[in-house]
Chain A
Amino acid sequence: MASTSSTNDRGPIRPYGDTTGDGMVQLSFTLPIEHSKVAEGAAVQLANKMGMDPALVVHAKAMGEGFTFFVVYGRVNHLVDPSTVEVVERDYPLLTPKEANSAIKRALRRRLVVVGGCIGTDAHTVGIDAILNIKGFAGEKGLEYYRELKVVNLGAQVSVPQLVERAREEKADAVLVSQVVTQRDAHLLNTREMSAAFRESYPEDKRPLLVVGGPRFDETMAADLGVDRVFTRGTTPGEVASYLVHRLVTDRKKAA
């Protein structure tokens, strides 16, 4: 486990406007009501109920027919306690592409095979491409840039059977799935279908590492979804590569 940072030890805190402890926040929302003094009062009432007191409506504007948009500034009395927050901290070392390559080469003596794609009806390849395409993301090159990784990017709207078949064909060490569309929890349903299909067609010890990513996933849901790891918003290719090396190279060596 990566070390828990010192911010956790600070004790309860409040939002910060311009003075420590002032508790100031801003909020915007729309109410389905014509703009009037009553409407502004209703906005204050909502802010009060949300714990803002005093609440100041700094902007109110009619929007469409029968709607008003508000911007509210105010003080909240709540405290938050970082020491009770649970997050998934990175539990593997970050490697440079060079380090990742040499670790794979040393341990596997072959290229590590990664098969990726967007499953279901999801046509948004932004996520998988950010991780896989050589172009990469956030200044880091994608997995295609890693000499010791063989990347098979199946693109968008890959069916689960296609994904399984291709993973078998390529003897995939890891399968990366990206899900952007979340309507009616499509990303969760698709992921469960995918992990079930892999479990069905592989013996457990031969199954490729299953990794899923997307902006609306919760990192703590891996077990629930039947996958090995969930990556969420802001994940970079380097993090994914480091994780793959950690699980497929470092861990296996330890087990052997």
Chain B
Amino acid sequence: MVSTGSTTKKTSSTSVKPRLGLDRADVRRARTLARQVGRPIVRLAKQHTTVSVERATLRMAGLQGADPDGTPWVNRLADVVRADTGLEHGVALPVWHALRRGHADDLLTLAQKAAAGSVTFELPDGKDATAAARDAKRAVGAGIKRIDANRRERERLIKRIGDAPRKPWIYLIVATGDIYEDIPQAQAAAREGADIIAVIRSTGQSLLDFVPEGATREGFAGTYATQENFRLMREALDETSRELGRYVRLTNYASGLCMPEIATLAGLQRLDMMLNDSMYGILFRDINPVRTFVDQRFSRQVHARAGIIINTGEDNYLTTADAVEAAHTVTVSQLLNEYFAKEAGLEDWQLGLGHAFEIDPSIPDSFRLELAHAMLARELFPEAPLKWMPPTRHMTGDVFNGFLLDGFFNLVGALTGQGILLVGMMTEAVVTPWLSDRDLALQNVHYVMNAAGNLHEDFRPAPDGFIARRAREVLGEAIDLLQAINDDTDTAGDPPLLAAIADGTFGLMKRPPDKGRGLEGVARKARDYYNPATEILEG
């Protein structure tokens, strides 16, 4: 059994003192630019809705389950409403108007009848619209109350059972494809020292325009995110949390075409953290930019309400681009993620902004560069629980060398007060982690934290030394890039960020706003658009 390193003192974010000599005016300038770049996108997001936002609203109102072919009832119902009245008014008014007219006693029956073609939806007006809106808000409000209750339950459990004993929280992944295999693996990982369990999703899921239903036993390189899988895993981890005397957090992915629905299910089943990046789907999954930003905002509003910590995906930039040359793109993405997150109501403690240890270990001073980049993130976001991601690109299959690299990764984590540490596996790129890989990886973490967990108290980079200069240089490049994005234009007059994404500013991938998957699921809101979930969440 591995010791949980109880001798290491908590490295709270409040202990972060400025050590890099960053110019405060530069930091302010970076944030101002991020706000300028982000604001038109927020406006765009407010002007549109998507099929997934509407389905998430139905899920909040309690509609669950799927037809015999596995198509969820929220999809069946939303599709019929859309065909009858369009998407631009939202589904709430037509749906609750139909219920008022007595087409069905409840949402499920209505969805079944709609699927059978025996209901025609219409958009109510006048008093009918007011009444439908009132009913819709009551039904959706019940779901939001459940999300609120889950948040209180989490706080209660942490108080009663206890929290993770120190920071960084140790984050381990399970990914068997079978929820009933995942559960014992997750429980074992928690017993071995994990504070956070992430269940990796099946690779195809981000491009599915529906959320699979029920407990699932088959997936590719991961397990489907479903409401029932969420429930089963959270229940199992609650049991393990009680056994271990510390609350073990559960993580999944609010990304892809069903981001708003998965965020909602996470709130309903008391998940604790969710992967949720502002641009990942656009750049790496070719999901339409407008669809992504609309879905993004709604899902972040749900996360804010649910007390869920988001994890952003900046590590991905470094898996496709050079980690030194592209270091500033990580900073830019962190600043944008911060702006979008706060605009959606998330607080600093909920911002697990990502960064990663991906510099080629053969280049001179690679460790100092890593340290400079990690310290920059720490100082730019002193109150955020940063998520520190292990090396993957330069893990070659030489497991011995990889183990050393992971040790250096852990050391940077210790020196920079990371909030969340994804445990690196020496068998990265070789096999999905074995029991022994996980145990050895945790020994590595515990050794470093035990030996050097408080080293940040002593460590001060020379004021104008290599590390401080490099951090300032990256911040400068980030400001330049943000300025360039802000100045970007296209012929359609899109917001500058959309124009920048279209011409390949990020990761060499060109993603125009009128292309990409899921565009057909986006609609510009009509004047009489109504969505009770949005109304409650904006409030």
Query: Roughly how many angstroms separate A157 CA and B204 CA in the complex, as a whole number?
Result: 8
- CB of A157 to closest CB in B, whole Å: 6
* Residues of B contacting A181 in the complex (Cβ-Cβ under 8 angstroms): 203, 220-221
B439 and A69 contact, CB distance less than 8 A: yes
Contacts of B440 in A (CB 8 A): 69
Q: Name the contact of B320 in the complex, choosing from A61, A62, A122, A133 (C-beta under 8 A).
A: A133
Q: Is the CB of B435 within 8 A of A67?
A: yes
Chain A residues lying within 8 Å of B203, measured Cβ to Cβ, are: 121-124, 157, 181
B149 lies within 8 A of chain A by Cβ: no
State whether A62 touches B177 (Cβ < 8 A). Answer: no
A129: chain B residues within 8 A (beta carbon): 320
B46 CB–A CB distance under 8 Å: no
Interface string of B430-468 (1 = CB under 8 A from A): 000011100110000000000000000000000000000
Report whether B439 and A135 are in contact in the complex, using a CB–CB cutoff of 8 Å.
no
Is A156 a contact partner of B284 (Cβ separation < 8 A)?
Answer: yes
CA distance A155 to B206 in the complex (A): 14
- Chain B stretch 396-441: residues in CB contact (< 8 A) with chain A: 397, 429, 434-436, 439-440
Check if B232 is an interface residue, CB within 8 A of chain A: no
Is A125 among interface residues, defined by CB-CB distance under 8 A? yes
- Assess whether B192 is in contact with A157, with CB atoms less than 8 Å apart: no
Smallest beta-carbon distance A185→chain B, Å: 11
**Residue A58, interface by CB 8 Å:** no
Contact B508 A133 (CB under 8 A): yes
Find out whether the CB atom of A63 lies under 8 angstroms from the CB atom of B439. yes
Cβ–Cβ < 8 Å partners of B206 in chain A: 123
B320 — nearest CB in chain A belongs to which residue? A129
B212 to chain A, nearest CB (A): 13
CA distance A30 to B418 in the complex (A): 32
Contacting residues of chain B (314-367) with chain A, CB-CB under 8 angstroms? 319-322
Closest Cβ neighbor of A30 among chain B residues? B436
Number of interchain pairs (Cβ within 8 Å): 68
Determine if A183 and B320 form an interchain contact, defined as CB atoms under 8 angstroms apart: no
User: Is A220 positioned at the interface, with any CB of B under 8 Å from its CB?
Assistant: no
Complex Cα gap A61–B204 (Å): 38
Compute how far the CA of A183 lies from the CA of B220 in the bound complex, rounded to whole angstroms: 6
B285 within 8 A of A: yes
A200 on interface, CB distance cutoff 8 Å: no
Q: B520 CB to closest chain A CB, in angstroms?
A: 16
B191 at the interface (CB under 8 A from A): yes
Given A133-B508, A155-B286, A157-B204, A64 contacting B439 (CB threshold 8 A): yes
| Chain B residues with CB below 8 A from A61, complex form | 439
Cβ of B59 to closest chain A Cβ, rounded Å: 24
Tell me which residues from 19 to 74 in chain A have a Cβ below 8 Å from any Cβ of chain B.
28-30, 61-65, 67, 69
Inter-chain contacts of A124 with B (CB < 8 A): 203
Measured CB to CB, the closest approach of chain B to A79, in angstroms, equals 26
With known contacts A157-B204, A183-B177, A125–B320 Cβ distance under 8 A: yes
Please judge, given known A-B contacts A28-B436, A157-B207, whether A126 and B284 are in contact too, CB under 8 Å: no
Residues of A within 8 A of B322 (CB): 135
Task: Please report the C-alpha to C-alpha distance between residue A155 and residue B509 in the assembled complex, in whole angstroms.
Answer: 9
Across the interface, do B509 and A30 meet the contact criterion of CB distance under 8 Å? Answer: no
Q: Which residues of B contact A123 (CB under 8 A)?
A: 203, 206, 284-285
B202 within 8 A of A: yes
Residues of A close to B435: CB separation below 8 A: 30, 63-64, 67, 69
A64, A67, A125, A156 — most chain B CB neighbours (10 Å): A64
Residues in A with CB closer than 8 Å to B221 are: 181, 183
Contacts of B188 in A (CB 8 A): 64-65
Which residues of B sit under 8 angstroms from A63, Cβ to Cβ? Answer: 192, 435-436, 439
Residue pair A64, B220 in contact (C-beta under 8 Å):
no
Cβ contact within 8 Å between A30 and B285 = no
Q: Is B116 an interface residue (CB 8 A)?
A: no
Alpha-carbon distance between A122 and B206 when the two chains are bound, in angstroms: 11
Instruction: Determine if A149 is an interface residue (Cβ-Cβ < 8 Å).
Output: no
- Min distance, Cβ B165 to any Cβ of chain A, angstroms: 20
Give Cα A233–Cα B286 distance, bound, in whole angstroms. Answer: 26
The winner among B192, B320, B397 for most chain A CB atoms within 10 A is B320
- Residues of chain A contacted by B321 (CB below 8 angstroms): 135
* Residue B83, interface by CB 8 Å: no
Interface flag for A249 (CB, 8 Å): no
Q: Given contacts A155-B509, A156-B284, is CB(A121)–CB(B220) below 8 Å?
A: yes
Give me 23 A-to-B residue pairs in the complex whose CB atoms sit less than 8 angstroms apart, sorted by A's number: A30-B436, A62-B1, A63-B192, A63-B435, A64-B188, A65-B191, A69-B435, A69-B440, A121-B207, A123-B206, A123-B285, A125-B320, A135-B322, A155-B286, A156-B285, A156-B286, A157-B204, A181-B220, A183-B177, A183-B220, A184-B220, A215-B429, A233-B397
Extra contacts besides A61-B439, A121-B220 (12): CB < 8 Å: A64-B435, A123-B203, A125-B320, A126-B320, A129-B320, A133-B508, A135-B322, A157-B285, A181-B220, A181-B221, A183-B177, A183-B221
Q: Interface residues, chain B, CB within 8 Å of chain A?
A: 1, 177, 188, 191-192, 202-204, 206-207, 220-221, 284-286, 319-322, 393, 397, 429, 434-436, 439-440, 508-509
**Minimum-distance CB pairs A-B, first 7:** A121-B204, A63-B439, A121-B203, A69-B436, A30-B436, A123-B203, A181-B221
Chain A interface (Cβ < 8 Å from any Cβ of B): 28-30, 61-65, 67, 69, 121-126, 129, 133-135, 155-157, 181, 183-184, 186, 215, 233
